[in-house]
Amino acid sequence: MLRAADVAAARALIAPYAARTPCIRSPWLSAVTGHDVWLKLESLQPTHSFKVRGAACAVARRSGAATRGFVTASAGNHGAALAHAARMAGVPVTVHAPRAAAAPKLDTIRRLGALLVADYANYDEAEHAALADASRTGADYVSPYNDPDVICGQGTILLETLDDVPACDAIVAPVGGGGLVSGLALAASGLPRRIGIFGVEPERNPAFTDALREGRITTIPVLDTIADGLGGNIQPGSLTFGLVRDLGVRMSLAGEAAMARAVCDAAEHDRLVVEGAAAAALAGVAGGAVAGAGLTVVVVVSGANIDRAKLAHLLA
């Protein structure tokens, strides 16, 4: 049973691996929404993604003489994060990824010394292969989301946020497998006052929206989306589904055009490079994911690893 105290403990564990990222105010999103909107810049992590937090927590807890190495499936950011943390711990890692994953993410995985297998049609295929690899070799499988250490590591974002924006009423994050919003909700569950946790999925990958409607984890078609880091189904039995359901995370959807606009708006108004997954959260906030006005809202800018050609196309 995960507890808010586990998130607090993770904060010290990840300190050698992860940066303490700043929050900046977003005047344009504040004007659009009527809220006081701040951006938590996880794009400034060593691998330019929040994923380093969860990967670092897993590596810090599980590295040791008996470790045979780590293996994972990733659309790119988690693989790079695990490669970063594992290299610092001196442990080998293998990453299984879709062949269409963003080139900057795959390049980072290779540069950090991981064995990269990018031969799969989509994330679901990569995940099946990674699980089989772990079973065959005895390596420790570290899910990008369905892992208690990963969930706790991601939750440290909320604890840092409250240090910088103590008036925070709500925090908004993109949702793929749910590790980030689960960690945020877990951290929030131990606070003396209520903070709303909001998740935003691409309309083309509504895995949690569908699962929450049905009351169980379902299987959806895996479609291409600008938010490539959020594509794929939820692993059967995932911890994240129960946490999202039971801790009251509120979900909304973002369309492809809205996410494309968010990439451009972040560049124009905040001078930030954001990838499609990060744009999902920005688009959700701009589209009214947090109802009302006058709240202090923090958006997790989850990553900046967008392909250069894609960014140029969107900005053009």
What is the pLDDT at residue 65? 66
In this structure, the answer to whether residues 131 and 269 fall within a common structural domain is: no
What is the pLDDT at residue 295? 98
Please, are residues 153 and 56 in contact by the beta-carbon 8 Å criterion?
A: yes
In this structure, the answer to whether residues 261 and 114 fall within a common structural domain is: no
In this structure, the answer to whether residues 134 and 171 fall within a common structural domain is: no
What is the pLDDT at residue 64? 81
In this structure, the answer to whether residues 56 and 43 fall within a common structural domain is: no
The CATH number for 88's domain is: 3.40.50.1100
For the four alpha carbons of 179, 4, 210 and 261, in that order, the dihedral sign comes to negative
Domain ends where: 141, 161, 192? 141
Strand-pairing partners, residue 170, are: 196, 297
Residue 97: closest CA among 80, 112, 117, 111: 117
What is the pLDDT at residue 110? 95
Place of tokens 């990733």: 74
In this structure, the answer to whether residues 107 and 217 fall within a common structural domain is: no
Strand extents, DSSP E, 175-236: 196-202
* Mean pLDDT by groups of 10 residues along the chain of 316 residues: 96 97 98 98 97 97 86 94 96 94 91 95 92 95 96 98 98 97 98 97 97 96 92 93 97 98 98 97 98 96 95 95
Token pair, residue 47, equals: 């691998």
Domain ends where: 141, 158, 192? 141
Expressed as residue numbers, the domain containing 21 is 4-49+147-315
**How far is the C-alpha of 230 from the C-alpha of 303, rounded, in Å?**
12
What is the pLDDT at residue 161? 98
**How far is the C-alpha of 261 from the C-alpha of 212, rounded, in Å?**
28
Kindly report the CA angle at 106 between 104 and 108, in degrees rounded to 5? Answer: 70
In this structure, the answer to whether residues 59 and 192 fall within a common structural domain is: no
One DSSP character per residue, 48-64 reads: SBTHHHHHHHHHHHH-S
Token pair, residue 124, equals: 């679901």
What is the pLDDT at residue 1? 86
